[in-house]
Each structure stands twice: as structure tokens, then as C-alpha cells.
Amino acid sequence: MRRFNVTVNGVSYDVVVEEVGGAPAQAPVAAPVAAPVAAPVAAPAAAPAPKAAPAGAAGAIAVKAPMPGTILKVNASVGAAVKKGDVLCVLEAMKMENDICAPQDGTVASVNVQKGASVNTDDVLITLN
């Protein structure tokens, strides 16, 4: 068994690791064993509200990619009227299909992606007015 101090996000942890295979383990060093330190529990972050499009369109809402992935399907077209909850496009991430829905009623001002496009987190997919 070997002991290590590991710091994660500014919090220090005392960790004991067992060596499996390889060279024989050294004799353990006598040291006082500290009580285990519980990992801090963070409250779940609220879903971010849609933000205005950076293109300078007044009152425009940017629908952004929540995670990196590939666009499987684009259901929206410029000028189309959409209602809150309508599926604008489908994003595949980690072998799962994620529906990207309209955050509010509006009209599609721009479609910035096409089928097969790779996107990163926070890339603007579609803009609504």
C-alpha cells in the first residue's frame, strides 16, 4: 500500500493505493492515518438561459449546443415559425441523440449548422427572433 496526497480543485485528499502486480511493494511507512476527507458536494447548476446572438440581431435568441457532438438532423429552416419546445435539430453526443428544442416561440432567423457538422459546447446552432 502506498499513500499519496492528491489535490483536486483546491481540495487536498489523503489517498491510499494498493499496488497490483509488478515489483513487490515496499514496507509501509508508519504514519498517522488521517480521517477520510469527504469530497465537497456542489449544488447542480441551473440550466443557462438562452442568450442574445452575437451577430448583433436585436432581440435574437441564440440556441447553442449544450455539449460537443455531431448534428444528425436539422428540422428548422430560415423564416419558419416555431413554438417553445419544437425540436430544431438533433445532436448526437456519446452515442445518444439529444433533441435541441426552441426555448421560446419565434421565427428562425438563421441556421448555422448542417447535417453531419461537428459542433463544440456553446456553438450557436440556430438563431430565433
* Strand 11-17 versus strand 118-119 pairing type: unpaired
pLDDT (tens digit per residue) in 98-119: 999 999 999 999 999 999 999 9
Q: Is 67 helix (H, G, I), strand (E, B) or coil?
A: coil
pTM > 0.75: yes or no: no
CA distances from 126 to 12, 42, 49 (A): 43, 31, 15
Closest CA to 101 of 112, 91, 89: 89
Cα 117 to chain centroid distance, Å, stands at: 18
Q: What residues contact residue 34 under an 8 Å CB cut-off, 6+ apart? A: 14
The Cα–Cα gap between 112 and 55 comes to: 12
Closest CA to 12 of 36, 43, 32: 36
pLDDT (tens digit per residue) in 47-105: 444 444 444 455 689 999 999 999 999 999 999 999 999 999 999 998 899 999 999 99
